[in-house]
Amino acid sequence: MSHKLYKNLIGGEWVASRTGKTFLNINPANSDDIVGEFQSSSAADIDNAVAAAAEAWKSWRLVPAPKRAEILYKTGEILTQRKEQYARDMTREMGKVLAETRGDVQEAIDTAYYMAGEGRRLFGQTTPSELKSKFAMSVRMPVGVCGMIAPWNFPMAIPSWKLFPALVCGNTCVIKPAEDTPLSTYNLVQCLVDAGLPAGVVNIVTGFGPDAGAPIVSHPGVRAVSFTGSSEVGRIVGQTAAGNFKPCSLEMGGKNAMIVLDDAHLDLAVEGALWGAFGTTGQRCTATSRIILHKKIAAEFTEKLVARADALKVGDGLDESVQVGPQVNQQQIETSTRYCEIAKKEGAKLLTGGSALEDGTYDKGHFFAPTVFASVKPGMRIAQEEVFGPVVSLIECADFDEALDIANGIDYGLSTALYSRDVNLAFRAMRDLEAGITYINAPTIGAEVHLPFGGVKHTGNGHREGGTGALDFYTTWKSVYFDYSDKLQRAQIDTGE
Ligand code: ADP
C-alpha cells in the first residue's frame, strides 16, 4: 500500500530532515496500514526551526492580539469542516474509537474559539501609583519562541492546548509531536496555515524524543518549554530547563481514584467507572485506575462492573460498534502485561482480562483485554504506579475518611472522583482530595478546555494548561510606570508632599 511522505514545516517551507532519515507511522489496530512516513529529525533541524521561529517573532509579536485571534477563530471553523476526516486520521494513527477522536478534534475547536476570545481580553491590571501624577499598570507580554513536546494520547487536543494560547499571546512555536501520532499535529497546523498564519510562526519538527525533543529543551533560543508525557521524561525535561532558567510547564502522570460510597447511585457509578477506566483504552493521564469502594456496596459494584467490562467490544476504532480500541504500540501492551503479572504476584485477584488479545481479528494490532483486579491493597504497585492501559484496581474501604487516605496516599495528584449523594462529604472531597481536578458524581475523565488542567505532587510542576492558566504560562508580566508630573519622584522616599 502506498503512503504519503510528510516533511517538517520550517519557516513556512516543507523540508526534509537534515538527517536524511524517516520513520513510519503505523495503525496500531492493523500493522498492514501505514498511515504515513515522517522525518526522523535531530538537533540541526531544531536549530533551523528555532531560527525561523525567532525571525517570525519579530513581526508576530507586533500583530494586534485581536488580529492573531481572528486566525485562531478561522482555524476553529476550518477544523469544524474537516472534523470527520481528521477524526479518522487520528483513529488510524492512535487507535482510539471514532467517537473519541471526534471529541479530540472538538477539543481543539473549543480551544480555538476560547483562545480567539482571549484576543480581546488578555487583561492586565491598572492600579494606583503611590506617587502623584503617575500611572501604573501591568501588561502581558509574549515570551518569545516556545518549544512544545506532545504525547500521543490526545494527538490534536494537547497540541491545541499548547499552540493556541501561545499564539494568541504573541509567541512563535516549535512543536515536536509524539512519534506515534505526528499526523494529527500536521492536520491541526495545516488548518492554522490555511487560516492565514504567517510563515515561521508555527514550525513542526518530527522525530524521537532524545533526538528531536531534547534539543528543543536545551536550545538557548527557546524561551519556554511545554511538555506533556511521562514523569520519567518530564524529570529530564524539567532539570534541563531549570539549568537554563527556562519556564517549563510539565504535565505528567496520574493514578486517579474514584471513591464510591454506600449511598451512591450505584448504576451511575458503574457507568462512570467503565468510561473512566476503559475509555481511550485506559490511556489517559486522567484515567480511573483505582476505584475505592465502600465495603457495603463493594460486592454488588464489582459484579456489575465485571459484567460490563466483559461485554465491552474491543477492536479497530474505525468500526463504529467498537467501544475499546487498541493500545498505541507494542511497548504499551508489554507494560500492561507486566503490571498484570506484578499485581498477581502481589496478591491482587484478577477478575477479568489480564492479557493481550492476539487471536483471529486481533492478530494485526496491539489489543489488550479490559482488566479488573480486586482485593487490591493501597500500597501495592498496581495501586501506586501508572499503567496507562485498560487495567483498573478495586480497593475496599470502611468509610469516607479511609477512602480519602487511600486516594491521597500516592505520589500523583491529577484527577479524582466521588460518587455520593451526601452534600457534606462532597464538599469535604472537594476540599481534601489532593488533586488538580475533582469530579462529583462523574468519572475522573472529562476536562473542559476553559478550566485549568493539571495536577499536584509528581503530576506536574505547578503550571496549568487550559483556562487562564495557559495565558499565565505563555506571557510574562511587565509592570509599566508612567510619570507625568515632570519631576523626579522617588518611590518609598518621596511619600509626603
Ligand atoms: P509516553 O510514555 O506517553 O510516550 P514520553 O514521556 O515517553 O511519554 O513521551 C512524551 C513526549 O516526550 C514524546 O513526544 C517523546 O518523543 C518526547 N520525549 C521522549 N524522550 C524525550 C527526551 N529525552 N527529551 C525530550 N523529549 C522527549
Give per-residue pLDDT as tens, 348-394.
Answer: 999 999 999 999 989 999 999 999 999 999 999 999 999 999 999 99
Residue 495 confidence class, pLDDT cut points 50, 70, 90? confident
| Burial environment of residue 486 by CB neighbours within 10 A (0 to 12, 13 to 18, 19 or more) | exposed
How many CB atoms within 10 Å of residue 59?
A: 12
Q: Give the mean model confidence (pLDDT) for residues 41-56.
A: 98
Residue 478 Ramachandran class (φ > 0 left, ψ -120 to 50 alpha, else beta) = beta
Residue owning the nearest CA to atom 16 of ligand 1: 209
Atom of ligand 1 at shortest range from CA of 151: 10
Quickly tell me which residue has 472538538 as its cell: 106
> Which residue, among 476, 487, 370, has the nearest Cα to 138 in the 3D structure?
476
Atom of ligand 1 at shortest range from CA of 208: 16
Q: 366 to each of 31, 51, 156, how far by Cα in Å?
A: 9, 39, 21
Distance of CA 153 from the midpoint of ligand 1 (Å):
12
Say how far apart CA 96 and CA 280 lie, in whole Å: 6
Instruction: Find out whether the beta carbon of 233 lies less than 6 Å from any atom of ligand 1.
Output: yes
> What percentage of the chain exceeds 70 in pLDDT?
99
Positive or negative, the CA dihedral 5, 9, 14, 20 is negative
Atom of ligand 1 at shortest range from CA of 176: 14
Instruction: Name 369's Cβ contacts closer than 8 Å, sequence gap at least 6.
Output: 314, 352, 353, 354, 355, 356, 357, 390
User: Any catalytic annotation for residue 285?
Assistant: yes
How many CB atoms within 10 Å of residue 337?
A: 16
Residue owning the nearest CA to atom 3 of ligand 1: 229
Q: 94 to each of 26, 29, 123, 151, how far by Cα in Å?
A: 9, 9, 38, 11
Question: Is residue 9 pLDDT above 70, yes or no?
Answer: yes
Helix, coil or strand: residue 476:
strand
Instruction: Find out whether the beta carbon of 89 lies less than 6 Å from any atom of ligand 1.
Output: no
Among the four given CATH numbers 3.40.605.10, 1.20.1250.20, 3.40.50.10420, 3.20.140.10, the one describing domain 8-252+460-480 = 3.40.605.10
Question: Is residue 496 pLDDT above 70, yes or no?
Answer: no
Torsion of CA 152, 155, 161, 165, to 10 degrees: 120
Distance of CA 197 from the midpoint of ligand 1 (Å):
27
288-294 and 356-357 strand pairing = unpaired
Instruction: Find out whether the beta carbon of 155 lies less than 6 Å from any atom of ligand 1.
Output: no
Domain ranges, ordered by start, for the chain: 8-252+460-480, 256-440
Please report how the helices 98-118 and 157-168 are oriented relative to each other, as an axis angle in degrees rounded to 10. 10
> Which residue, among 293, 294, 304, has the nearest Cα to 270 in the 3D structure?
304
Residue 317 contacts residue 325 (beta carbons within 8 Å): yes
Instruction: Find out whether the beta carbon of 442 lies less than 6 Å from any atom of ligand 1.
Output: no
List the end-to-end C-alpha distance of the chain, in Å, as a whole number: 83
Distance of CA 409 from the midpoint of ligand 1 (Å):
27
Instruction: Find out whether the beta carbon of 196 lies less than 6 Å from any atom of ligand 1.
Output: no
The grid coordinates of residue 79 equal 477544523
Q: 38 to each of 51, 139, 275, 421, how far by Cα in Å?
A: 21, 40, 33, 51
User: Any catalytic annotation for residue 248?
Assistant: no
Q: In what order do the strands lie in the sheet with 134-142?
A: 125-128, 134-142, 475-483
Say how far apart CA 294 and CA 400 lie, in whole Å: 8
Residue from 146, 169, 248, 285 carrying the catalytic annotation:
285
Among the four given CATH numbers 1.10.10.10, 3.40.50.10800, 1.10.101.10, 3.40.309.10, the one describing domain 256-440 = 3.40.309.10
Say how far apart CA 174 and CA 196 lie, in whole Å: 18
Instruction: Name 410's Cβ contacts closer than 8 Å, sequence gap at least 6.
Output: 255, 257, 383, 384, 457
Residue 216 confidence class, pLDDT cut points 50, 70, 90? very high
Distance of CA 311 from the midpoint of ligand 1 (Å):
34
Instruction: Find out whether the beta carbon of 230 lies less than 6 Å from any atom of ligand 1.
Output: yes
Query: How confident is the model at residue 208, as a pLDDT?
Result: 98
Phi and psi at residue 418, to the nearest 5°? -125, 130
Global pTM value: 0.97
Question: Distance from CA of residue 209 to its chain's centroid?
Answer: 17
Residue 194 confidence class, pLDDT cut points 50, 70, 90? very high
Residue owning the nearest CA to atom 18 of ligand 1: 209
Quickly tell me which residue has 509567541 as its cell: 171
Q: Give the mean model confidence (pLDDT) for residues 111-123.
A: 98
Mean pLDDT value across the chain:
97
Residue 125 confidence class, pLDDT cut points 50, 70, 90? very high
Residue from 118, 179, 251, 386 carrying the catalytic annotation:
251
Query: How confident is the model at residue 201, as a pLDDT?
Result: 99
Residue 2 confidence class, pLDDT cut points 50, 70, 90? confident
Atom of ligand 1 at shortest range from CA of 230: 6
> What percentage of the chain exceeds 90 in pLDDT?
99
pLDDT by residue (tens digit) across 62-74? 999 999 999 999 9
Residue 367 contacts residue 356 (beta carbons within 8 Å): yes
Distance of CA 234 from the midpoint of ligand 1 (Å):
8
Helix, strand, coil % in the chain, rounded to nearest 5: 40, 20, 40
Instruction: Find out whether the beta carbon of 151 lies less than 6 Å from any atom of ligand 1.
Output: yes
Query: How confident is the model at residue 497, as a pLDDT?
Result: 59
pLDDT by residue (tens digit) across 422-443? 999 999 999 999 999 999 999 9
> Which residue, among 129, 130, 136, 132, has the nearest Cα to 485 in the 3D structure?
132
DSSP 8-class letter at 374? E
Q: Give the mean model confidence (pLDDT) for residues 484-494.
A: 96
Atom of ligand 1 at shortest range from CA of 232: 6
DSSP 8-class letter at 410? S
Instruction: Find out whether the beta carbon of 252 lies less than 6 Å from any atom of ligand 1.
Output: no
Helix, coil or strand: residue 191:
helix
Question: Is residue 293 pLDDT above 90, yes or no?
Answer: yes
Distance of CA 178 from the midpoint of ligand 1 (Å):
7
Residue owning the nearest CA to atom 23 of ligand 1: 210
